[in-house]
Amino acid sequence: MALLEVDRVGKQFGGLAALDDVSLSVRQGEIYGLIGPNGAGKTTLFNCMTGLYSVSAGAVRLEGRAVHNRPPHEVVRHGFARTFQNIRLFANMSALENVMVGRHVCSRASVLGAVLRGARTRAEEAAIRQRAQELLHFVGLERKGRALAGHLAYGEQRRLEIARALATEPKLLALDEPVAGMNPSERRQMAEFFLKLRDSGVTLLLIEHDVKLVMGVCDRVAVLDYGKKIAEGAPDAVQRDPAVIAAYLGGEV
């Protein structure tokens, strides 16, 4: 069974069909790329999958459980975390605190527990801190833990956002244009990082404009254009697909 199943999802904004009958399935342990020209509906699909938008038609299933039209915090709880295209960190909190917020779903101290701060709460708090530090280390930000997230360099903010998403212990991590605005050497580093992430057991779903990067790291790729899926398959096959070439370069007139 596929880890994530998008089943004939449609999304209408008024009269505009942003997504039309889109189906795809992501398998456990792969890096799945989602590409397409600007305005093709990639981010809309992300938002439909992670609960930010409701879907107008179809279903999204994670390990067979329907997660569409559920609030975002429930989707995360089922093991589906995401990052945002325009970085959305908690800018005025430290890097470490950002990641600690991500541990929210994995902890349960109540108001009473927080006020009394018994042995269990203290242990939980220590575990949150430790795991957050591990994740900062994992993304190479172990020395920036005390810096305010808003003060980090752009590439560092991208990595911090990934660390924060990883803190929710996701099975599937969706990254929305994670290398946008990076220079070629930073992109290479990120590509290696994605492979390392996959090897650590997280399945990746990647929206990306950088076709070279997608072709380099993705196991499978789907192409969206005007809200429709026009191709799906291995990167080199998709690259040769006439419909894809037409979508990117313009078709015959």
Interacting residues with another protein (CB under 8 A): 50-52, 71-73, 76-77, 81-82, 84, 88-94, 97, 100-105, 107, 109-111, 113-115, 117, 121, 124-125, 128, 148, 150-151, 164-165, 167-168
Amino acid at 69: N
CB of 47 vs another protein, minimal distance in Å? 10
Cβ proximity to another protein, 2 vs 93, nearer residue: 93
Cβ proximity to another protein, 71 vs 184, nearer residue: 71
> Which residue's entry shows tokens 């950002």?
98
> Which residue's entry shows tokens 């697909």?
241
CB of 76 vs another protein, minimal distance in Å? 4
Cβ proximity to another protein, 77 vs 209, nearer residue: 77
Q: From residue 39, give the alpha-carbon distance in Å to each of 20, 42, 78, 99, 226.
A: 13, 7, 29, 31, 7
> Sign of torsion, CA 225 229 234 239?
negative
Characterise 70 by phi-psi region: left (phi > 0), alpha (psi -120 to 50), beta (else). Answer: beta
List the one residue out of 183, 182, 178, 245 whose CA is nearest residue 217.
178
CB of 121 vs another protein, minimal distance in Å? 8
Cβ proximity to another protein, 65 vs 117, nearer residue: 117
CB of 91 vs another protein, minimal distance in Å? 6
Cβ proximity to another protein, 161 vs 208, nearer residue: 161
Is 172 in contact with 205 (CB distance < 8 Å)? yes
CB of 238 vs another protein, minimal distance in Å? 29
